[in-house]
Structure 1
Amino acid sequence: MPEPDDSLGRKILGFFIKDEPAAPGQPAPPQAPTSAAPAQAPLPPGSLDARFAEHFANVLAKNNLPGPDYFEFREALRGLAGLELSESKQFQAAWASFKALGGSTDVAQLTNTANQYLTVLSQDREAFGKSVETAIAERVGGLQNEQQKLQGENEALARQLTEIQQRIAANAERLTAIGGEITEQSGKLQQNRQNYEATYSQFTQQIRDDLAKITQHLR
């Protein structure tokens, strides 16, 4: 009976990612990250990322070919990693174990299935690359548009600020001039009033004097 994808994915993940040794008295870390795992510090660029390792393992699990193939051979080879055998003997022993499990006796079965899995991963990489380019175009392009918009607004505001400052300076100059004009015009108007009153007094006094003399001399 075939294994569930999740179980097979974790097994495949173990073929490629070695578990870190646990500290004494501490449980061994899980082979793949879970949603409940605590947040980790950002990895430097070019680092092995557990998220992508789990993703690749799941991709391979979903595309696992029926029957014994490269993965079963890889599992047998991994089981021999702790033995003090040369690399050549490890591969020969894994090959014998693989055939004992009912695998093909033709080495081409291993190379062909391994190359098929390389093709699957290459296709996933191509799709991932396209998705990254799309995300860059959408997110970075949107940010660049916002950047240009804000730069344009700042330039317009700077022009408006310059115009406002020029208007303030012109208004201040005009206010200074108006202050002098107010003093000048007020002085002129006060002088006109005084001159008017003096002339008025002169005319009215002359008429009053004439009335007094008319009354005096013409009765």
Structure 2
Amino acid sequence: MADSEPGIGKKILSFFINESTEPTQVKPVSETPAEQAKSVPAATVPNVAGTANVDRKFVEHFVDLLEKANLPGPDYFEFKQALQSMDSLELGEEKKFQAAWASFKAMGGIKDNSILTTSANQYLSILGKDRESFLKDVDRAIKERVGSLTDEVKKLEENNTAYAQEIANLQKKIDDNKNRLGQISGEVAEQSSKLNANRQSFEITYQSFVEQINSDLTKINQYLK
């Protein structure tokens, strides 16, 4: 492979996101003629299918995961690369798949498409396991950060019931606890919003990868018989 040819990670990236999207331009406050706008990568990027904007950090996470899991020898990703090379040709989708399959088979004397379906399913399995692990971490984080605050709310409310019976001498404690409850309400909303937003961003990116691979699997099974 020539040094100028992109690595497998770069190739995998191009399979799932549209790299042609221009990054956000940020101009300095005091700009002189010699100064140029700085390019800052956008936080989200459109997927190849154009169906969703996916989180860049999760795109990079999944690409790194798939790059490390890349199986030796020609498999789904090498076929995907061959398929991508057909984009410049004026061919219908079926013809593109068939032409890419012919090119792929020439790599190593491959006779049937089982190597494609098997390897693609292995990558789906890797993505699925990573998702399970991520969601467990999110649930654990929510329980640790939000659950403890919820428990504190319950305890303070119970204490307030007891303090109310003592009236005057406990009034200050009740007021102090009410102030803390107001703070906790803001903390719960903030933590929940951040964690759920992160979960949603992960899910959108995950679904984008899975849909792309499943779409290819459907077409492989449809066209490469």
With the shorter chain as reference, the TM-score category is 0.5 to 0.7
* 1:124-176 alpha-carbon deviations (Å, 9 max, x no partner): 1121222222112212212212323443455556555x42599xxxxxxxxxx
RMSD of equivalent CA atoms = 3.4
Q: Percent same amino acid at aligned positions?
A: 51
Matched residue, 2:137: 131
CA contact (8 A) 1:70 1:113 kept: yes
List structure 1 runs of 4+ shifted beyond 4 angstroms.
36-41, 152-160
Distance 1:53 1:39, change over 3 A: closer
C-alpha displacement of 1:39: 7.8
Distance 1:149 1:64, change over 3 A: same
Distance 1:21 1:51, change over 3 A: closer
For the pair 1:163 / 2:168, whether they are aligned, the reply is yes
Matched residue, 1:10: 10
C-alpha displacement of 1:69: 0.6
For the pair 1:106 / 2:116, whether they are aligned, the reply is no
Q: Give the secondary structure class of the aligned counterpart of 1:114.
A: helix
CA contact (8 A) 1:77 1:90 kept: yes
Query: Match for 1:80 among 78, 81, 86?
Result: 86
Please give the alpha-carbon distance, in whole angstroms, between the structure 1 residues aligned to 2:41 and 2:80.
Answer: 31
Query: Match for 2:63 among 57, 60, 81?
Result: 57
- In structure 1, stretches of 5+ residues that fail to align are 24-35, 167-219
C-alpha displacement of 1:89: 0.7
Q: How does 1:169-180 map to 2 (within 5 A)?
A: none
Q: Give the secondary structure class of the aligned counterpart of 2:88.
A: coil
Please give the alpha-carbon distance, in whole angstroms, between the structure 1 residues aligned to 2:112 and 2:57.
Answer: 35
Give the total of aligned pairs: 147
Query: Match for 1:66 among 72, 93, 113?
Result: 72
CA contact (8 A) 1:77 1:94 kept: yes
Matched residue, 2:54: 48
For the pair 1:143 / 2:149, whether they are aligned, the reply is yes
Please give the alpha-carbon distance, in whole angstroms, between the structure 1 residues aligned to 2:73 and 2:113.
Answer: 15
Q: Give the secondary structure class of the aligned counterpart of 2:111.
A: coil
Q: Give the secondary structure class of the aligned counterpart of 1:101.
A: helix
Matched residue, 1:122: 128
* 1:57-89 alpha-carbon deviations (Å, 9 max, x no partner): 111111111101110000111122233210011
- In structure 2, stretches of 5+ residues that fail to align are 24-38, 45-51, 172-225
* 1:89-118 alpha-carbon deviations (Å, 9 max, x no partner): 110111111122226222111111111111
- Taking CA–CA contacts closer than 8 Å with sequence separation of 6 or more, which of the two structures ends up with the larger relative contact order? 2
Please give the alpha-carbon distance, in whole angstroms, between the structure 2 residues aligned to 1:150 and 1:81.
Answer: 64
Q: Give the secondary structure class of the aligned counterpart of 1:48.
A: strand
Distance 1:75 1:143, change over 3 A: same
- Give me the TM-score of the superposition, normalised by structure 1: 0.56
Q: Give the secondary structure class of the aligned counterpart of 1:85.
A: coil
CA contact (8 A) 1:69 1:103 kept: no
Q: How does 1:176-191 map to 2 (within 5 A)?
A: none
More strand by share: 2
